[in-house]
Structure 1
Amino acid sequence: MFHWDTPQALQDLGGWPNPVIADYFQDYAKILFDNFGDRVKYWCTINEPRLFSSFGYGRSLPVYPLLAPGLEMHGVGEYLACHTMLLAHAKAYHL
């Protein structure tokens, strides 16, 4: 359902470190479930959450450059993003 393509309007709100994104993700999941639920047997809510949170909001390494969205918030950003991703996954799961 999510593979690193955060809409710009949601990124402008702070992206995944902002917990309100979990509510938007729940709305997005409902739309997908309503429209494709009869044809999709297995759902993956968030692809590669560790890489996305660590290298999108955390830090860069020689083997991994900073990835999209490219916000270096080392020590804080990756934890906030990961927390919100877990909330978003739980909300989608409970739908």
Structure 2
Amino acid sequence: MATIELSSAQLNHLLELVYLGEWMRQAYTTDTYNVELEDLEQKLYAIAYNEGLDESVEYDKKLGGYVPSEELEASCDEYIDVYDD
């Protein structure tokens, strides 16, 4: 098992990379679900949530998992908009 120490800012940047990577993967493939990637994404979101980054990650009781917050999505949408142009 690998261990890595990140500041809150670094962890937040990692969340942006995860969100953008998943957006890119889903934007150009018909295979929209990958168990290994979903598990990794959930693990990172859980770590961030438990580290107090609830401005970036929320727990959705209906889904039974972690989801990016509107704030995280909005910050990533800026990159996506530039990419799309």
Instruction: Verify same fold: TM over 0.5.
Output: no
- Larger RCO: 1 or 2 (CA < 8 Å, sep 6+): 1
Structure that is richer in strand per residue:
2
Structure that is richer in helix per residue:
2
TM-score in terms of structure 2 length: 0.33
TM-score in terms of structure 1 length: 0.32
